[in-house]
C-alpha cells in the first residue's frame, strides 16, 4: 500500500522519528488492512521508507525502514540479530530486554529474556503481522526452552486487538522463574506478573541503591515484589521498610527477601496504600525510594498525574532529615522529564527541604531508545540529597506526628 504525506509533514520521519500521525497523511489507499506494510512517500514524491499501518489510532504509521528495504523474514532476522549483538555487551544478569520496540527499530515488539525462557509482546497490528517471522528468528538465534506471549494492555486495546497469552514455541515456563541480577536473586512470575513479570528497566537504579544503602534506614514505596528492597539489603542497609498495596505482591517481596537469605529483622513489609501510609506516625529515613505505577495512562490525565507526583513526593520528603537521599521516578509516558522535575521541586519546596540534584536516572542499557523518539523516554528519575531542613518544617512534622488521630500504618515484619 502507498501513503503520501502532506507538504511540510515529512521532517519527523526524515529525522528518524518512528511515528507518523494520521494528521500528516494526505492520501492513503482505500481498503488497506490493519498491519499492512506501507510505502511512505514525502510530498515531493520521494520514498521515505516503509512502516506498518494502524487505522484505529492516531499513530497511523510506525516506521520500520528508511529507504527502499524489503520487509520480510530476512529483514526481521537482521533486526533481531542486531539487537542481540548489543545485549551481549550488557552483562551481569541472566535476564534482560532483548527487543525494545521502536528503540530496536521493531515498533510494537518487546522481547524479554528470563533465564532459558523468552517472554514476547506484540502490541500493535504491525507487530502482529511480523509475529511469525519474529518467533522463527528468536528460535534460531536464541534457542530458548520456550517462548511465552504476554500481548495485552492499553496499546493493544487501542489497536482493536484482543489480548493474547500463551506458549508460542517450546515449553511453558514454570510459575516462578528464578533470575540473578548483579548477585541478587528474584522470583519472577512471567505468566502473570506486571509487564512481562519484572521491571527489567530499573536494573541500573537497583545497582545504584545497592551502592548507596550501606548503614541507611530505607523506605521503599510502591515496592511491588521488593526488587529495590533486595538491592538495599545487598548494599548493607540497616533496615528496609517496603510498602505495597497488593497483598500478592508484598508476599512475593517477603519470599524474595528470604530467597536471598537476609535477616528477617532487617526487613519490614507493609501492605498499605502509600498515600495513607505516609500520613501515619513514621520515623525518619535516610533513603527513600518512590517508584509508583503510571499516574497518567492517557494525555488527558496529565495534570492530575502531576498533582499526584507532587503530593506523594511532598509526603516522602517529610520523612527525611539532612543528608537523606530521595530516589524518585515517573514511568508515565504523558509526563515529560521537565514537568516531573518541576513537580518534585515544588514538593521539596513545600516540605521545606533544600536539595541537591545528584543524578538524572533512566532505564538500563538493554532498553535503547530512538534518539528522535521523545515519546519513548517513559522512565525518568531523580536522585536527590537533602541538604537543609528548615526549622518550621521540623516543627510542622513533629506536630503532625503527635496528632492523636494520625493513621497508624498496617504493617507486619518479614517472617520465614
**Residue 23 cell numbers, joined:** 494528521
Q: What is the Cα–Cα distance from 345 to 354, expressed in whole angstroms?
A: 9
Q: What is the Cα–Cα distance from 308 to 343, expressed in whole angstroms?
A: 9
State the pLDDT at residue 304. 85
Which helix (H) or strand (E) segment holds residue 93: the answer is none
State the pLDDT at residue 360. 98
Is residue 355 annotated as part of the catalytic site, yes or no?
Answer: no
**Residue 66 cell numbers, joined:** 528508511
State the pLDDT at residue 394. 55
Tell me the H-state helices in 91-149.
Answer: 125-142
Say which residue the cell 543528608 belongs to.
Answer: 323
Q: Report the topology of domain 73-174.
A: Transcription Regulator spoIIAA (3.30.750)
State the pLDDT at residue 403. 45
| Catalytic residue from among 331, 335, 370, 382 | 331
The count of other CB atoms within 10 Å of the CB of residue 276 is 14
Q: What is the Cα–Cα distance from 269 to 245, expressed in whole angstroms?
A: 11
Q: What is the Cα–Cα distance from 4 to 244, expressed in whole angstroms?
A: 49
Q: What is the Cα–Cα distance from 390 to 395, expressed in whole angstroms?
A: 9
Sheet holding 95-100, edge to edge: 95-100, 109-114, 117-122, 146-151, 164-170
- How confident is the prediction along the chain (416 residues), in pLDDT tens digits per residue? 999 999 999 999 999 999 999 999 999 987 789 999 999 999 999 999 999 999 999 999 999 999 999 999 999 999 999 999 999 999 889 999 999 999 999 999 999 999 999 999 999 999 999 999 999 999 999 999 999 999 998 899 999 999 999 999 999 999 999 999 999 999 999 999 988 999 999 999 999 999 999 999 999 999 999 999 999 999 999 999 999 999 999 999 999 999 999 999 999 999 999 999 999 999 999 999 999 987 756 677 788 889 999 999 999 999 999 999 999 999 988 889 999 999 999 999 999 999 999 999 999 999 999 999 999 999 999 999 999 999 776 555 554 445 444 333 434 444 33
Under 8 Å between Cβ of 109 and 103: no
State the pLDDT at residue 393. 60
Q: Which CATH number fits domain 2-63: 3.40.50.300, 2.30.130.10, 3.40.50.11540, 3.30.1330.20?
A: 2.30.130.10
pTM: 0.90
Tell me the residue ranges of DSSP E strands in 291-411: 320-330, 353-361, 380-389
Say which residue the cell 505505577 belongs to.
Answer: 293
**Residue 187 cell numbers, joined:** 522470583
Q: What is the Cα–Cα distance from 111 to 107, expressed in whole angstroms?
A: 12
The residues spanned by each domain of the chain are 2-63, 73-174, 199-413
How many residues does this entry show for the chain? 416
Q: Which CATH superfamily is domain 199-413 in?
A: Vaccinia Virus protein VP39 (3.40.50.150)
Amino acid at each position: 500500500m502507498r501513503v503520501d504525506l502532506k507538504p511540510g509533514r515529512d521532517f519527523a520521519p526524515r529525522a528518524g522519528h518512528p511515528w507518523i500521525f494520521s494528521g500528516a497523511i494526505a492520501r492513503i489507499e482505500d481498503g488497506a488492512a490493519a498491519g499492512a506494510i506501507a510505502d511512505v512517500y514525502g510530498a515531493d514524491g520521494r520514498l521515505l521508507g516503509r512502516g506498518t499501518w494502524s487505522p484505529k489510532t492516531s499513530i497511523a504509521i510506525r516506521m520500520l525502514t528508511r529507504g527502499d528495504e524489503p520487509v520480510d523474514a530476512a529483514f526481521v532476522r537482521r533486526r533481531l540479530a542486531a539487537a542481540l549483538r548489543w545485549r551481549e555487551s550488557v552483562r551481569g544478569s541472566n535476564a534482560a530486554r532483548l527487543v525494545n520496540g521502536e528503540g530496536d527499530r521493531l515498533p510494537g515488539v518487546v522481547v524479554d529474556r528470563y533465564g532459558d525462557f523468552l517472554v514476547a509482546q506484540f502490541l500493535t497490528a504491525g507487530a502482529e503481522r511480523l509475529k511469525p517471522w519474529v518467533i522463527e528468528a528468536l528460535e534460531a538465534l536464541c534457542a530458548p526452552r520456550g517462548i511465552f506471549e504476554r500481548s495485552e494492555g492499553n496499546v493493544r486495546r487501542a489497536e482493536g486487538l484482543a489480548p493474547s497469552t500463551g506458549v508460542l514455541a517450546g515449553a511453558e515456563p514454570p510459575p516462578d522463574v528464578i533470575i540473578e541480577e548483579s548477585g541478587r536473586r528474584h522470583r519472577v512470575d512471567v505468566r502473570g506478573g506486571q509487564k512481562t513479570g519484572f521491571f527489567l528497566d530499573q536494573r541500573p537504579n537497583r545497582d545504584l541503591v545497592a551502592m548507596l544503602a550501606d548503614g541507611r534506614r530505607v523506605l521503599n514505596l510502591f515496592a511491588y515484589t521488593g526488587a529495590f528492597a533486595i538491592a538495599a539489603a545487598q548494599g548493607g542497609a540497616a533496615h528496609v521498610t517496603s510498602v505495597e498495596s497488593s497483598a500478592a505482591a508484598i508476599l512475593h517481596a517477603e519470599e524474595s527477601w528470604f530467597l536471598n537469605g537476609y535477616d528477617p529483622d532487617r526487613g519490614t513489609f507493609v501492605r498499605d496504600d502509600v498515600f495513607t501510609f505516609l500520613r501515619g506516625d513514621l520515623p525518619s529515613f535516610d533513603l527513600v525510594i518512590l517508584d509508583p505505577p503510571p499516574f497518567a495512562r492517557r494525555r488527558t490525565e496529565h495534570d492530575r498525574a502531576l498533582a499526584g507526583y507532587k503530593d506523594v513526593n511532598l509526603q516522602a520528603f517529610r520523612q527525611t532529615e539532612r543528608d537523606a537521599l530521595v530516589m524518585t521516578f515517573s514511568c508515565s509516558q504523558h509526563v515529560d522529564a521537565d514537568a516531573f522535575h518541576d513537580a518534585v521541586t515544588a514538593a521539596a519546596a513545600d516540605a521545606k527541604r533544600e536539595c541537591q540534584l545528584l543524578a538524572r536516572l533512566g532505564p538500563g542499557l538493554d532498553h535503547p531508545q530512538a534518539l528522535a523518539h521523545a515519546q519513548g523516554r517513559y522512565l525518568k528519575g531523580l536522585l536527590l540529597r537533602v541538604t537543609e531542613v528548615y526549622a518550621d518544617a521540623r516543627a510542622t512534622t513533629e506536630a503532625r506526628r503527635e496528632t492523636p488521630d494520625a493513621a497508624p500504618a498496617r504493617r507486619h515484619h518479614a517472617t520465614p
